């Protein structure tokens, strides 16, 4: 399924996320709990020696060099090199009548960690991440024992070093997997699958496929579809291919296709809100126009004979959802608004008089503000055609009335009002956008931005 909306994270964006992820992992590793270590070994021509190492306290774990890389069609890989850690604890040794105990300091150097991250999506369309592979290699372990019998410590030094290396190597990968599950996965789940717009409509941002890693970026395909909250129905037109250009100057790019915007018009039309009534009370005072049959009888004489000096009402509605097009020149549409004229009878019932169709050229200016796509529409003069009687020049007069009032702009064309208020972009928690780029391409809008993460 072609997406209606695409999010592209470039290498610069991954590097920024990597910085915060490594900081979290460093804290997690510094809190590793290592089990007590004990063992026995026999010295040639001497007795058996029993040693115990307890209260192992990992004081720090530093990850000074690391990088994240894209593995095409697989996912992400994090490589950490030259990491080091400091630890202390207590020791106890027993051999025949010799008993001794004390403390020790341990330094772990030249630690290499390689982590493979697998990306996917769950049944609800949220992104998922997990460790598909992890390996740790420790090149150097140095232990310093404090005590009186230095020669004795040297006897089991190698055994202790080997045990520490194996224990720490396994614990590091356990901590990595735990950190991904407890920190990274829940954070990715803050990405909204659906975003409520107002009382009538929402946006479906569910993933339509697992994220795709290429040599340059990580692409996330989203449904990108508006829907009516009251009654969700199948959109009668398919999404078009959304080929994002190979731009990499920003950390993240958003591609919103014409399908994305047109489903907004379809959703509001399906919700029944693309309609508005004009009565005398909503006509601006500065317009010399009286909405009654006497005014229109100059062009339709039978109106005043049938309904003399009777107030009228104009009901504006969209016969179909407004269709928007995107090209390198910008975003535009030509909405068609039907105006049905009624006579308001003394008993408040309505008598139909004539039908007028209005059409105008509309263009849009788009920007991003506070994580929302916002914009404004420039509405040209309405042109009118009519049925149900000879209106002559009054078709254009009614069109001019609509051009200077609020009737179609904010009510019939609900997309215009929604653009002013904005549509939320699919962003996880505590992300702010800056350095915004807006470009129009054939059939889609491209937004680029750098990101800033605000920790709690």
State how far the alpha carbon of 234 is from the alpha carbons of 194, 227, 237, 266, 321, in Å.
Answer: 16, 9, 9, 10, 14
Number of H helices, E strands in the chain: 9, 25
Structure-model confidence comparison of residues 356 and 433, the more confident one: 433
| Angle, CA 23 vertex, CA 20 and CA 29 arms, to 5° | 140
Tokens standing for 2?
């072609």
Distance CA 388, CA 31 (A): 81
Under 8 Å between Cβ of 127 and 188: yes
**pLDDT tier at 42, thresholds 50, 70, 90:** confident
Distance CA 435, CA 452 (A): 11
Summarised one tens digit per residue, pLDDT across range 96-107 is: 777 888 888 889
Assigned fold of 194-453:
Bactericidal permeability-increasing protein; domain 2 (3.15.20)
CATH of domain 12-190: 3.15.10.10
Is 385's pLDDT higher than 70? Answer: no
- Range with the lowest mean pLDDT among 34-38, 155-159, 230-234, 247-251? 155-159
| Angle, CA 380 vertex, CA 374 and CA 386 arms, to 5° | 125
Q: Can you give the pLDDT at residue 218?
A: 97
DSSP string for residues in 376-411: EEEE---EEEEESS--TTHHHHHHHHHHHSSHIIII
Summarised one tens digit per residue, pLDDT across range 243-284 is: 999 889 999 999 999 999 999 888 888 877 777 788 888 777
CATH topology agreement for domains 12-190 and 194-453: no
Report, as an integer, the average pLDDT of 373-377.
Answer: 84
Is 8's pLDDT higher than 90? Answer: yes
Distance CA 53, CA 49 (A): 13
Looking at every residue in the chain, the average pLDDT score rounds to: 85
Structure-model confidence comparison of residues 96 and 396, the more confident one: 96
Q: Can you give the pLDDT at residue 384?
A: 60
pTM (2 decimals)? 0.84
Break the chain into its structural domains and give their ranges.
12-190, 194-453
Give the DSSP H or E segment for 5: strand 5-10
């Amino acid at each position: 399924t072609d997406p209606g909306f695409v999010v592209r994270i470039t290498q610069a964006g991954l590097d920024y996320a990597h910085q915060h992820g490594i900081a979290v992992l460093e804290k997690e590793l510094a809190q590793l709990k290592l089990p007590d270590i004990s063992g026995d070994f026999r010295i040639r021509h001497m007795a058996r020696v029993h040693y115990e190492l307890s209260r192992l306290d990992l004081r720090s774990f530093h990850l000074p060099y690391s990088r994240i890389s894209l593995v095409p069609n697989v996912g992400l890989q994090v490589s950490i090199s030259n990491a080091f850690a400091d630890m202390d604890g207590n020791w106890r040794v027993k051999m025949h009548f010799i008993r001794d105990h004390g403390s020790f300091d341990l330094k772990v150097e030249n630690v290499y960690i390689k982590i493979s991250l697998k990306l996917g999506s769950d049944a609800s369309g949220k992104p998922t991440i997990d460790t598909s592979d992890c390996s740790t290699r420790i090149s150097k372990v140095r232990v310093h024992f404090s005590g009186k019998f230095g020669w004795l410590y040297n006897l089991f030094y190698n055994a202790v070093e080997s045990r520490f290396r194996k224990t720490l190597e396994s614990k590091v990968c356990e901590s990595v997997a735990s950190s991904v599950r407890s920190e990274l996965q829940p954070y990715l789940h803050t990405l909204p699958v659906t975003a409520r717009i107002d009382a009538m409509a929402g946006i479906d941002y569910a993933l339509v496929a697992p994220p795709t890693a290429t040599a340059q970026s990580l692409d996330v395909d989203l449904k990108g579809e508006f829907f009516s909250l009251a009654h969700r129905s199948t959109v009668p037109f398919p999404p078009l291919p959304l080929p994002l250009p190979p731009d990499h100057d920003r950390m993240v790019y958003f591609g919103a296709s014409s399908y994305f915007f047109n489903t907004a018009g379809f959703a509001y039309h399906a919700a029944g809100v693309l309609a508005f009534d004009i009565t005398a009370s909503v006509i601006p005072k500065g317009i010399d126009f009286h909405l009654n049959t006497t005014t229109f009888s100059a062009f339709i004489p039978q109106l005043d004979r049938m309904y003399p000096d009777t107030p009228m009402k104009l009901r504006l509605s969209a016969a179909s959802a407004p269709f928007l097009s995107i090209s390198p020149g910008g975003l535009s549409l030509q909405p068609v608004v039907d105006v049905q004229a009624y006579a308001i009878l003394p008993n408040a019932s309505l008598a139909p008089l004539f039908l007028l169709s209005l059409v105008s050229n509309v263009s849009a200016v788009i920007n991003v503000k506070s994580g929302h796509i916002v914009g404004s529409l420039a509405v040209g003069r309405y042109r009118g055609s009519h049925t149900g009687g000879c209106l002559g020049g009054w078709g254009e007069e009614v069109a001019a009335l609509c051009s200077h009032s609020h009737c179609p702009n904010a009510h019939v064309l609900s997309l215009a009002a929604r653009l002013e208020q904005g549509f939320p972009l699919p962003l996880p928690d505590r992300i702010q956008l800056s350095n915004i780029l807006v470009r129009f391409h054939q059939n889609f809008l491209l937004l680029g931005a750098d990101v800033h993460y605000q920790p709690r």
